[in-house]
Amino acid sequence: MVRGTVALALMFAEPGLARAGNSPRIVQTVLRGPNAPGGVQTEVVLPAGWKPGQQALLMVFLHDGWGNERSFRKHGLADLATRMVQDGALPSVIIACPRHKGTFIVDSPRAAMESFIADDLVPDLEDEFPGAGGSPERRSVWGISMGGYGALKMALRHPGVFGRAAALAPWVQPLSWDSYERNRTLRSRWLLEPVFGHSREQSRFEVNDLDSIAASADPALVPPLLIWTGSRDKWEKGASDLTAILRQRGIPVDAASIPGAKHRWRDWQRATPEVLAFLTRSAGNDRTR
């Protein structure tokens, strides 16, 4: 494992948010591993006053399809998490946001992003920030839209890495070459084909279909899951169908449709406090819907 190199560290605080000396620290780093020898830009939120060796939970946030490693901070979620830590609603937690734009968190000629997150990301983070995580029970993963799709894939196909997983408005739909070909557009050619393949023979749609992954997942190994979407979200049906498959398999999932919510940041921001609480909740205090 090649250790990431810290490029920049800075203090941040929303005016009136952090008490003196109680601001988190933002670190820009490049994480590397066998699946990403060129490195992955990652922004890490360190708790106020944290020093290497101090114990903290490790949380990985996977941004939406148009986002980047700064999305967690840019959209106010870092400030939100800071308030919750200061108020005692969250334990000490280190939150990492790797850049995966354009990859759909799939192993493809563009990038081996699924394997990087499953195999390389956590060891490199725990090496660079000693005291972070340390075991699946002390790690979680969540994401929004495309990031939600990736978080669910981690939980279902790589269940030994993270102890909890959550998805807000996950990009979930049946993935197959036939379905893609029927609805192919110039935009989808540009977005999807470099990742999922240019022909039926090259197709990586089927192997990355969440419904199929869920149908073959081991219920005894899948960590606690949360899947929330909005009643007016364009991906709600896919999330609902996936939830039904999970429950048929005996996999508990905290699922909810938020009345009136759409596929937009303002609705995701409102849901974030409960998602953060779920991801840092001890196993003995689980609940499902």
User: How far apart are alpha carbons 103 and 3 in whole angstroms?
Assistant: 22
Q: In this model, does residue 228 exceed pLDDT 50?
A: yes
Q: What Rg do the C-alpha atoms of the chain give, in angstroms?
A: 18
pLDDT at residue 289 in the model:
45
> Can you give the length of the chain in residues?
289
What pLDDT does residue 91 have? Answer: 96
Residue 133 · residue 126 · CB < 8 Å: yes
Annotated domain spans of the chain = 1-134, 175-208
pLDDT attached to residue 18: 38
Q: What is the pLDDT of residues 118-154, one digit of tens each?
A: 999 999 999 999 999 999 999 999 999 999 999 999 9
Of 80, 20, 88, nearest to 273 by C-alpha is 80
- Alpha-carbon distance 236 to 224, whole Å? 20
**CB atoms near residue 158 (< 10 Å):** 17
pLDDT at 11 over 50: no
pLDDT for res 1: 39
Structure tokens at 195: 């990742």
pTM (2 d.p.): 0.91
The answer to whether 76 and 269 are in contact (CB under 8 A) is: yes
Round the average pLDDT of the chain to a whole number and report it: 91
Q: Tell me the mean pLDDT in the region 225-229.
A: 98
Answer whether residue 19 shows pLDDT above 50. Answer: no
Structural tokens at position 67: 């986002």
Taking 70 as the threshold, does the pLDDT of residue 83 lie above it? yes
> For the segment 273-286, what is each residue's pLDDT rounded down to a tens digit?
999 999 999 744 44
Structurally, at CATH architecture level, domain 1-134 sits in 3-Layer(aba) Sandwich (3.40)
* Structure confidence at residue 21 as a pLDDT band (50, 70, 90): low
Give residue-wise pLDDT tens across range 150-188: 999 999 999 999 999 999 999 999 999 999 999 999 999
- The answer to whether the beta carbons of residues 254 and 226 sit under 8 Å apart is yes
Beta-sheet pairing, 225-230 with 253-258: parallel
Q: What local confidence, expressed as pLDDT, does residue 23 receive?
A: 81
